[in-house]
Amino acid sequence: MKMHLFKITGVILISIIASCTNVQTKKSSYTVDVDLGNAISLKEETSSVEVMCLNDSLSEHFPGDMTKVKWTGNSILVLDSWKDPGLYQYDSEGLLINSFTNRGNGPGEFVRVVDFNVTSSGIILLDTYSESQRLFLDKNLSFLYKKDAEKQSSHFYQEESKEGGVWYDRGNVAYGENKNKLVYEKDEKKKTVLPVPSEIENVTFASYNVFAGIANDTVLYLPAVEPRIYKCYDGKAEVFCDLNFGDLWPDFSGVDKSNPLELMRRIVDEGKIYSTNIVSDGNDFAISFFCKEKCYIMLFRYPEKEPYKLLYADKNIIESIGNLVCMKDGCLVFGKPGKLLKFGIKMK
């Protein structure tokens, strides 16, 4: 089934996290002032929309939630971490051709898959139940082997080069002795790159994408509950830019962290920013966040630090098109069960 064009609009993006000790980070004095009053409607800035219907073929499984989506050549990979957990592979026409939904504790099974990466040699899943592990699959989603991963990781980024390492994001979890936020592993050696800031220990937003690969093996990292973008390379992290949202950014000093869900509800009720997300395609990347029942999207072109567009979509539009799940050919791609919507954005 080919994509069909029709008019519609909407957007969503979601979140990020980081961890550490032996801190290897550089400061940045560059700050982007974000004025939500200058945001332009996504509808006004949309030049085209392509819709792809996803068909489940004869599979017993079908993703009811789109945690992460990635185009790989002529196929599309969809991760569902919640409704019908697993990784699903579609062809360029939207027909399901493979899936990896083996749940359990066996060698070729997972308990709670939360993220995946694609490399030239295959696909890697992150399973973070009890003892975290990475599951290595070939390009047809056949299981190959497992390796241990950083405990309590929420996301990871596998560098492409054969000698490359792995970035792990642990969010702001600091209930035990481990207060690492962003961890880098290479040649079976791990080091802390960023620690959990003491003022936001055990506080986090809903988290989807926290790492965004950029050309030339650069990784951008947007930690949850921190208004800044990090540039990660060679096992180091430096602040790419800070994001100044003024009094719309939540103040976590002195708050009760014993009930994270109640804290999140309070942030939403107060009209503060919540649920951040980052996606990329080549040198193009986008950050999204929610505030007062609207989703806002900032579009960047690396290495520029100022966004070239600030868009918004209201609640009704977001509900009609789903979450922002990735970027493709410079377009924003939104998804919900059964379909993907590719939004072309007007250039300057």
Residue for token digits 């509900």? 319
- pLDDT of res. 28: 57
- pLDDT of res. 17: 27
DSSP at 28: -
CA dihedral 17, 19, 25, 26 (to 10 degrees): 30
Cα separation of 49 and 7, whole Å? 6
Q: Is the pLDDT of residue 11 over 50?
A: no
Q: What is the pLDDT of residues 13-56, one digit of tens each?
A: 223 223 333 445 555 579 999 999 999 999 999 999 999 999 87
Spatial contact of 298 and 286, defined as CB atoms under 8 Å apart: yes
Cα separation of 257 and 155, whole Å? 22
Contacts of 176 (CB under 8 A, 6+ apart): none
- pLDDT of res. 29: 74
Contacts of 142 (CB under 8 A, 6+ apart): none
The pair of structure tokens assigned to 18 is 């980081």
The structural domains of the chain, with segments of one domain joined by +, span: 4-345
Q: Is the pLDDT of residue 76 over 90?
A: yes
Q: What is the pLDDT of residues 292-336, one digit of tens each?
A: 999 999 999 999 999 999 999 999 999 999 989 999 999 999 998
271: region left, alpha or beta (phi > 0 left; psi from -120 to 50 alpha): left
DSSP assignment of 244-259, as one string?
E-GGGS---TT---S-
Of the CA atoms within 13 Å of residue 272, those in its CB half-sphere come to 16
CA dist 96 → 71, 73, 75, 185, 294 (Å): 14, 15, 10, 34, 33
Q: What is the pLDDT of residues 155-168, one digit of tens each?
A: 999 998 767 899 99
- pLDDT of res. 174: 82
CA dist 347 → 44, 45, 46, 50 (Å): 12, 8, 10, 17
The pair of structure tokens assigned to 283 is 């040198």
- pLDDT of res. 65: 84
181: region left, alpha or beta (phi > 0 left; psi from -120 to 50 alpha): alpha
- pLDDT of res. 34: 97
Q: Is the pLDDT of residue 274 over 70?
A: yes
Q: What is the pLDDT of residues 124-150, one digit of tens each?
A: 999 987 689 999 999 999 999 999 999
The pair of structure tokens assigned to 119 is 């490399």
Cis peptide before 223 (omega within 30 of 0): no
- pLDDT of res. 25: 52
* Of residues 284 and 265, more confidently modeled: 284
Cα-to-chain-centroid distance, residue 227? 15
**Residue 278: pLDDT band with limits 50, 70, 90:** very high
CB atoms within 10 A of CB 290: 24
Spatial contact of 167 and 221, defined as CB atoms under 8 Å apart: yes
Cα separation of 124 and 113, whole Å? 10
Average pLDDT over residues 80-96: 92
Average pLDDT over residues 53-62: 79
Average pLDDT over residues 271-277: 92
Length of the chain: 348
The pair of structure tokens assigned to 202 is 């055990």
Give me the CATH topology for the region 4-345.
Neuraminidase (2.120.10)
Of the CA atoms within 13 Å of residue 318, those in its CB half-sphere come to 21
- pLDDT of res. 206: 65
The pair of structure tokens assigned to 1 is 């089934």
Q: What is the pLDDT of residues 173-232, one digit of tens each?
A: 887 788 999 999 999 899 999 999 988 888 876 667 999 999 777 899 999 889 999 999
